Structure 1
């Protein structure tokens, strides 16, 4: 299913983030203006320290800017209470991080079920695992799974609540090339088939070919935006 990209999902205006460490001020973001539209796959590209993770955490309601405004659809996140931000994260956002954060004593299926128990319209856990081609490993514990399989369980857990947005912070950073391709294929399938607006942070420029748009960051600022006329599959990437 090809998703038609229509309305705005996220809008940021003048987003600035300053961390104060004693007398030292670190400017992580410097006036970011950005829009993400429904159903798009966007890559946030940049070196370590460029502000990618800070921006992703602000979009996901895990952090708040020092200045500027952030809107999710019609909700102004920068004017929302901590309780409202918790509800926003719970209802609308799936997170995937570099490290899998699975509970070792629970099977793959049970790790996914943790999310479905608090969601209003969840997938069946096996359906979520099928989306990442791991349904046959549903009863395995994390220690019985490879790193790539554990990351795919983490993706299944993130999408099982049917989030409107999937935010991925270096999801292949701890994986070898071939395993990373499998994980990226799972993320691309979710974007393509479920229409989930997807943002992936990476320092690997090769991954950019999978995206609808590539937003490059440097020193806390957007240094470039590129729109891809066509997208490559993960297996076609030149690492």
Structure 2
């Protein structure tokens, strides 16, 4: 069954004329070329593009992990693109959750303890057990990472990212290291977070099929937005086939 969802018009994050140039010796590498981009409240966005298209650079700048060469990022009427390190750290801590291709869990801590690390430094955090329940891992909360599959470890990473109840969840190739069946389970966890908590979510992928579960698909090529598609009906992650 497809999901019909009214598009929100409330902007959570805006990027204008984002340009990123990396200087390598005498060579300039243009990762972004004047990108304009908005994230809307509660939506699910998929960023599609080949390797080198600028997807990760865009996500890193939106999340305050990197700064643009030119242009700006606006969050809550504040330009964070030229904020100092302290302000960017506060922005990432209080407002953004990150999920990467590799899970970065602490091997000596259980699933519950890995999630609890975030909740201890964040105001208004979810109970760690609740966060694990949202990704379907209640029964595995006392297991260590080495006792869990790759897909389960990635779902712990998602639980850790959303336990602080961020306004924005940014996922960079979250299924890149997983097989299809396991990847779908991870996408279902991300989908559930978006629907249950209303977390604005952006997912980077090179797999066009994943775009079917999004409200919008943003196509990137050569550091520019090449096109935008709007899905009137979202396909549940459980029905994706690739």
Instruction: State the TM-score, normalizing by the size of structure 1.
Output: 0.98
Tell me the equivalent position of 1:185: 188
Q: CA deviation at 1:225?
A: 0.3
Unaligned segments of structure 2, at least 5 residues? none
CA distance in 2, matches of 1:100, 1:193: 23
Tell me the equivalent position of 1:76: 79
Tell me the equivalent position of 2:227: 224
Q: Please list the CA deviations of residues 160-213 of structure 1 after superposition, one character each: whole Å capped at 9, or x if unmatched.
A: 000010000000000000000000000001001101000000000000000000
CA-based RMSD:
1.2
CA distance in 1, matches of 2:7, 2:34: 30
CA distance in 2, matches of 1:82, 1:214: 31
* 2:16 counterpart SS class: strand
Count of residue correspondences: 239
Q: 2:14 aligns with which of 4, 8, 11?
A: 11
* 2:191 counterpart SS class: helix
CA distance in 1, matches of 2:202, 2:49: 13
Tell me the equivalent position of 1:51: 54
Q: 2:125 aligns with which of 122, 142, 147?
A: 122
Tell me the equivalent position of 1:27: 30
Q: Which runs of structure 2 are paired with 1:1-239 in the superposition (5 Å)? A: 5-239=8-242
CA distance in 2, matches of 1:3, 1:216: 21
Q: CA deviation at 1:74?
A: 1.1
Indicate if the aligned counterparts of 1:164 and 1:196 stay in contact, CA closer than 8 A: yes
Q: CA deviation at 1:4?
A: 6.8
Indicate if the aligned counterparts of 1:108 and 1:139 stay in contact, CA closer than 8 A: yes
